[in-house]
Structure 1
Amino acid sequence: MHMAQGRGAGLGLALTAAIAFGGSGVAAKPLIEAGLDPLHVVWVRVAGAALVLLPLAWRHRNLLRERPALLAGFGLLAVAGVQAFYFAAISRIPVGVALLIEYLGPVFVLAWIRFVQRRPVSKGAAIGAVVAMAGLACVVEIWAGLGFDALGLLLALGAACCQAGFFLLSAQGGDGEDAPDPLGVIAYGLLFGTVVLTVIARPWQMDFALLGGSADMGGTQTPAWLLAAWIVLVTTVVAYLAGVTAVRRLSPQVAGVVAYLEAVVATVLAWVLLHEHLSAPQMLGGVVVLAGAFIAQSATPRAPAAEPVAGARAEGPEKETLPQPTARP
C-alpha cells in the first residue's frame, strides 16, 4: 500500500514538474515581446530562483569543496546555456518548435559517443537518432525550405548542445554512494548560472520599469511582474524541486517518459495562450522527435561506473541510460 502511494505521489510530482517546466516559454515570450532582452528574462529567472533556493545551497555547502567542477558545469550548461539559448530561440520561432529541437540533446550525446569517443553504440540508440532526425525534418517543414527563422533554429540547436553537454558531464557524477545530492547541485547550479549570466546579460542595463507594466499574452494584457514571478517560482523553483523528488520516487525510465510530456504541455499552452498553431505534419513530427529522442536516451550506454547526478540508477548492463533531462528550459 505504502509503495503504491509513493509511486502515485511520484507520478503526481513528475506531472507537476512537466507542466511547470512546460509553462516557462509561454510566460517568457510575452515579456520578450514587451521589450525585455531574452538574456535579461533568463537572468531574472535564474537569479530569482537562486535567491529562493539560497538556504538549500547553504545546507549543501560541502559540495563547493567536493564537486566544484560539476557545479560550475551544471551552472554553465544546464542553467545558463540551455535557458539562454532557449529563450533567445523563442523570441524568433514558436515555443513548441524550439523545445522540440532542444530535445535532440540525447541524439547529440549519441553522436559524441560514436564519433568523438569512438565507442560503439547500440542498434536501438542509432534507430532512435534516425527517428528523431526524421521527426525534426517534419517539425521544421524541410520540404518548404525551412519556413522558420534560421537563426532561431540555430539558437534552439544551441540549447540542445548545452543539454547534451550536461548529460555528458553528469554521467561523471560519481558512484552510487558518492553521488552528490541533486537538490544541492540544482541550488549551486542556479548560483553559478547567475554569476555567468550577470557577466553576459549585464542586468544593470535592463529596463526594470517594464516589469511594472503589462505584456500581451495572446491578446490578453497580463501584469509583467506576474509573468516574471511565475517564471521564477513555478517554472523554476517548483519545477526543479518536484522533478528531483519525482525521480527519487520513480524508476528513471518512468520519470523519463513523464518528463517528455513537457514538450506536449509547452506546445498546447503556446497554442491556447499565444495562438501559435502548428500544422498537422509538425505535430506528427513532434511526436516522432520525442519518440526517437527517448529511444536514443534509453539505449545509449553510459561510461563505465558512471552515475547520474539526479540519483537515478541503472538496473543492469542492458538498461544503462543517460541521466534524466534535468537540464530543462
Structure 2
Amino acid sequence: MPVRMSESSAAGRGKGVGLGLAMVSAVAFGGSGVAAKPLIEAGLDPLHVVWLRVAGAALVMLPLAVRHRALLRRRPALLAGFGLLGVAGVQAFYFASISRIPVGVALLVEYLAPALVLGWVRFVQRRPVTPAAALGVVLAVGGLACVVEVWSGLSFDALGLLLALGAACCQVGYFVLSDQGSDSGAGAPDPLGVIAYGLLVGTSVLTVVARPWTMDWSVLGGTAYMNGTPVAAPLLLSWIVLVATVIAYVTGVVSVRRLSPQVAGVVACLEAVIATVLAWVLLGEHLSAPQLVGGAIVLAGAFIAQSSAPAKGSPEPVASGGPDRDLSTRSTLA
C-alpha cells in the first residue's frame, strides 16, 4: 500500500507539471498576436512576421540541432512532419484563411483541433475516450465561439473555410507528433531536438512562401506603437521569437509528453482566451459580456477534459480518481 501511494503521488505530480507546462505554452503562444500586431501596423506583412518568428527561433535553437544531429538519421520522417505541420503548416494555412474569412471564424475552425485529436485517438489509435473528455471538448469549442464572437462576422467562403480547416489539421499533427515516442523510455526522441529541427524545416518552407527578400527591413530598426505607447520594434520581435515561439514550443511539446495529445489540445484552447485578455489590457481591445462568459466556458471544458482523459496505454477510459497514469518513462523526457 505505501508503494501504491508513492506511485500515485508521483503520477499526480507529473500530471500537475504537465498541466502547468501546457498553461505556460498557452500563455506564450497567446502573447504572439499582441506583439505582432504593432509590427504589422508599422508596415510589415503578416507572413514576413511569421517568417521572422520561425527563422529567429530556429537560429536560437540551432546549437540544439547540432547536438541532436543523430535525429536526422534516426527520425527523419518525424522531423519533417513536425516542421511541415506543427510549424509551417499551421502558420501558413491560418494566414491564408484570414485573407478570405473573418479572423474569428478562422480561429474557431482552427481550434476544432482538440475535437479532431479526440477523433484521432478514438478511430486511428483505437483508444477509448471518456464521455467527460468529449464533453470538455464540446464546452471548449462552444466557449471559444463566444470568445471570438463568431456570429458578428460569419462568412461562408468555401476556400477560406477549407484553409482554416487545414490549419486545424496541421495543429492536430503538432499534438500527435509531439507525442511520438513518449512510451519509448530512453529511446524516445529528445523533444528539444525535435523542436529545433522542426523550426529549421519550417523556416525552409516559409522562406519560399513569405519571400523575406521583399520585406521592408527598415521597420525592424524603428518604433512600433502598442495602443499609442511607443515600443522598440526589436523588443517586440525578441518577445515573439524567444517567448512566443521558443518557450511556447518547448513547454508545449514537453506538456504533451507528460499529459496526452487530447488533454494538451484542449488546454491549448486557452490560447485564444489569453490572447483576447492580453489584447484587452495592452491594446485596448475590450472584452464584451459574451466573451467573458465564453472564457469561463473554455476554462471549464479544459478542466473537465484534463481530469477525465484516458490513460495512455490503458484499455479502459480513466475517470477522475481512477487508475493512475504510468509516468515513469515520460518523467525523464522533461
* TM bucket normalised to smaller: 0.7 to 0.9
Equivalences for residues 193-272 of structure 1 within 5 A: 193-241=202-250, 252=259, 256=264, 262-272=271-281
Partner of 1:64: 72
Separation in 2, partners of 1:37, 1:200: 12
Q: Which of 25, 36, 43 is equivalent to 1:35? A: 43
Match of 2:285 in 1: 276
Residue of structure 2 equivalent to 1:147: 153
Partner of 2:63: 55
Q: Deviations over 1:68-103 (max 9, x none)?
A: 1111111111111223445667888679x9767644
Q: Per-residue deviation at 1:180?
A: 0.5
Q: Deviations over 1:171-200 (max 9, x none)?
A: 443632221100101111111111111111
Which structure 1 segments of 5+ residues have no match?
306-314, 325-329
Residue 36 of structure 1 and its aligned partner are, at CA, apart by 1.4
Report the CA distance between 1:156 and its aligned residue: 5.6
What is the CA-CA distance between 1:60 and the residue it aligns to? 0.2
For residues 147 and 243 of structure 1, do their structure 2 counterparts lie closer, same or farther at Cα, with a shift above 3 Å needed?
A: closer
| Maintained 8 Å contact 1:107/1:293 | no
Change (3 A) 1:15 1:290: closer
Change (3 A) 1:170 1:16: closer
Cα displacement string for residues 195-252 of structure 1 (whole angstroms, at most 9, x for unaligned residues)? 111111111121212212322211223222221122112322244445567788xx53
Q: Which residue does the alignment assign to 1:107?
A: 115
The residue identity in structure 2 corresponding to 1:190 is L
Separation of aligned partners in 2, 1:267 and 1:41:
20
Report the Cα offset of residue 33 of structure 1: 2.1
5+ residue gaps in structure 2? 1-9, 315-320
Letter paired with 1:218: N
Instruction: Tell me if structure 1 keeps the 8 A contact 2:312–2:325.
Output: no
Q: Verify the 8 A CA contact 1:38 1:88 in the aligned structure 2.
A: no
**Deviation per residue, 1:103-137 (Å, 9 max, x gap):** 43211222345567787643223322322332234
- Which position in structure 1 is the counterpart of 2:131? 123
Identity %: 69
C-alpha deviation, 1:26, in angstroms: 0.4
Deviations 1:43-75 (A, max 9, x none): 101111111111110000000111111111111
Report whether the alignment pairs 1:288 with 2:311.
Answer: no
The secondary structure found in structure 2 opposite 1:278 is coil
The Cα shift of 1:301 comes to 5.1
- Matches of 1:172 and 1:17 in 2, distance apart? 19
TM-score, normalised with respect to structure 2:
0.72
How many residues align structurally?
Answer: 303
Task: Give the TM-score of the pair, scaled to structure 1.
Answer: 0.73
* 1:135 alignment partner AA: G
Native 8 Å contact 1:63 1:180 kept in 2: yes
Partner of 2:245, secondary structure, is helix
Deviation larger for 178-187 or 224-233:
224-233
Identify the match of residue 199 of structure 2 among 182, 190, 197: 190
Aligned with 1:35: secondary structure? coil
Opposite residue 136 of structure 2, the aligned amino acid is G
Q: What is the distance in 2 between the residues matched to 1:279 and 1:204?
A: 41
Q: Evaluate the alpha carbon distance shift between residue 203 and residue 224 of structure 1 in structure 2; reply closer, same or farther with a 3 A threshold.
A: same
